[in-house]
Chain A
Amino acid sequence: MEKVITVRNLVKKFGSFVANDHLNFDVYQGEIFGFLGANGAGKTTAMKILCGLSSPTSGEAKVAGFDIYRETEKVKRNIGYMSQKFSLYEDLTVAENIRFFSGIYGIPPASRKVKQEKLLKDLGLESAKDSLIGSLPLGWKQKLAFSVAIFHDPKIVFLDEPTGGVDPITRRKFWDLIYGAADRGITVFVTTHYMDEAEYCNRVSIMNNGRIEALDTPENLKKQYSAKNMDEVFLKIAR
């Protein structure tokens, strides 16, 4: 399978603090890659480097086949990003947000309209087209933010704790969207705190103190650590 992210000996230091200590991993096209770790383990730092929001201290990384040092521009063109904080404009309507982000990614108005119709229909948000984002419930906002992040059909979408603060049912529905995207061939790189979500991933890596301690499918990890569920695996590693 095609590798869409390759990371080799990636190091990020803030002064003497090592946030990412020689990371090595590959992510394959179309998979859902869970990036787990306790708070402060270095997940967000690594993700920001891969998105071109931050530059590494040393090491190599390629995203969508482009070098993150020299081809940041091309990397950004091929990724979608949904930040930890909710990332649409609250004081714009649903349609205005879609128009804004389409503009940034250079989607022509004609195809934008077609895609927007489909997006709103899939999410069941047709009636909310002209409502302000700020007036929508959090679960809807998250689904919408995700749909906007993949609106330009990126190769990879990075999700930084996308489902914080919502109930399990809403989370489950959110994951249906993620599966849908993965089925269309979009690689999903997701950080999360919820271990039930880790079970939904094709493969997960678990970080601790800036290092990747484990990387495999959830089944193999559970076997390896002789644990009943991912919760136990996580506790054994991050303890």
Chain B
Amino acid sequence: MMIIFLLPIVQLLLFGKVINTDIQNSRIAILDQSHDNTTREITSKLVSSGYFVLGEELMPGDDVEDVFRKGQVKMVVTFGSEFEKNLERDGKADVQLLADASDPNTARILTAYASGIISDYVKKEKLQNLQLPNQIKTEVRMLYNEGLKSVYMFVPGIMAMILMLISAMMTSISISKEKELGTMEVLLASPLKPIQIVLGKVTPYLLLSFINALTIILIGVFFFGVPIKGSFILLMAESFLFIMMALSLGILISTIAPNQMVAMFISVLALMLPTILLSGFMFPIENMPLPLRILSHAMPPRWFIVIIKNIMLKGTGILFVWKETLILMFMTFVFIALSIKNFKIRLE
């Protein structure tokens, strides 16, 4: 009963807080090759704007892509050498904004904000004294997705969503259907072991989901031109892991839900909405308020999407996604353990 009154409140708060494409506290890295007053001031302007947080200071020669592969930093600001001198002498200076465009929306907004702040600073602070035309050249580069195609973002997101839907929702519904119709009791009273029953229920969805994952990737690659820069085998292995996670989640839901209705309800509420809202698929996680940011850690798709983007767009190997992989493994393990525990309680 409570749920009827709580649901709209939760939904409203969730949507209101989550759907927020503004940028706040995005992590950036600075590669400052001239280290003069102007570059320092620009850096502090960027950081004090509230949009950016200084994540890392790079040295010339550092591998910029490595920074992105770790996944924390969303943009690297590079100041050319002798920035201040060039600006004062010729009225020209180079600054490069390199953004991680595996999330094209965020990349677009970040670079636009940063360009704005930089040219604003130069106009206000410098040019009054210099009386020179504004010649600061901001070069914007979008890494991993030069065309800023949003399909690059949707392929991993849709994949997470579909796999959750097919694996977790269908499994939980089909098992709770057997409970509802009484056929489950007959199966349990037969010589079949519980593990055989569960495997029997889960295997078709494992195959279906795997075919689905493959189809989504193929359409993404051949129809939309999304690259697979990393290992295809690793990509499929990670998809397999995610499917296993979703299946065990489905089994867990079915041990809780007494019938199909409840299973459906829990699946939609606990799987669909968080997958769309809290996984970082559509709305950047950094922009969310702290409680939701913490909650998003518990969302399996969040980790899967990071893995998929890394492998497909950034071409990283297992070395850069082992943490996310371990988290998914841990979740699978927890769901299976909880399912077994629930199942035993039901038998007693």
A-to-B contact residues, CB < 8 Å: 51-55, 73, 76-77, 79, 81-90, 101, 104-106, 149, 158
**Contact between B347 and A87 (Cβ–Cβ < 8 Å)?**
no
**Contact between A51 and B189 (Cβ–Cβ < 8 Å)?**
yes
**Contact between A89 and B185 (Cβ–Cβ < 8 Å)?**
no
**Contact between A83 and B190 (Cβ–Cβ < 8 Å)?**
no
Closest to A80 in B: B189
Closest to A90 in B: B181
Interface centre among A79, A81, A158 (most CB of B within 10 A): A81
Report B-chain residues with C-beta under 8 Å of the C-beta of A79.
Answer: 189
**Contact between B191 and A73 (Cβ–Cβ < 8 Å)?**
yes
Closest to A79 in B: B189
B 29-52 contacts with A by CB, 8 A: none
B-to-A contact residues, CB < 8 Å: 181-183, 185-192, 347-348
Chain A to chain B contacts (Cβ below 8 Å), 28 pairs: A53-B185, A53-B189, A54-B347, A55-B347, A55-B348, A73-B191, A76-B189, A76-B190, A76-B191, A77-B191, A79-B189, A81-B189, A81-B190, A83-B185, A85-B182, A85-B185, A86-B181, A87-B182, A87-B183, A87-B185, A87-B186, A89-B183, A90-B181, A101-B190, A104-B187, A105-B191, A149-B186, A158-B189
Report B-chain residues with C-beta under 8 Å of the C-beta of A73.
Answer: 191
Report B-chain residues with C-beta under 8 Å of the C-beta of A83.
Answer: 182, 185-186, 189
Closest to A78 in B: B191
**Contact between B186 and A81 (Cβ–Cβ < 8 Å)?**
yes
Cα A85 to Cα B180 with chains together (Å): 9
> Main secondary structure on chain A at its contact with chain B?
loop
Cα A149 to Cα B186 with chains together (Å): 9
18 further A-B pairs in the complex, CB-CB below 8 A; given A51-B189, A76-B191, A77-B191: A52-B188, A53-B185, A53-B188, A54-B347, A76-B189, A79-B189, A81-B185, A81-B190, A83-B182, A86-B181, A86-B182, A87-B181, A87-B185, A89-B181, A101-B190, A104-B191, A106-B191, A149-B186
Report A-chain residues with C-beta under 8 Å of the C-beta of B181.
Answer: 85-87, 89-90
**Contact between B182 and A104 (Cβ–Cβ < 8 Å)?**
no
Closest CB in chain A relative to B190 CB, distance in Å: 5
Closest CB in chain A relative to B47 CB, distance in Å: 59
Known: A54-B347, A55-B347, A55-B348. A105 touches B185 (CB 8 A): no
Cα A51 to Cα B184 with chains together (Å): 13
**Contact between A54 and B348 (Cβ–Cβ < 8 Å)?**
yes
Cα A55 to Cα B348 with chains together (Å): 6
Report A-chain residues with C-beta under 8 Å of the C-beta of B186.
Answer: 81-83, 87, 149
**Contact between B183 and A88 (Cβ–Cβ < 8 Å)?**
yes
Report A-chain residues with C-beta under 8 Å of the C-beta of B183.
Answer: 87-89
Closest to A148 in B: B186
Which of B188, B190, B348 is A105 in contact with, Cβ under 8 Å? B190
Report A-chain residues with C-beta under 8 Å of the C-beta of B192.
Answer: 104
Closest to A56 in B: B348
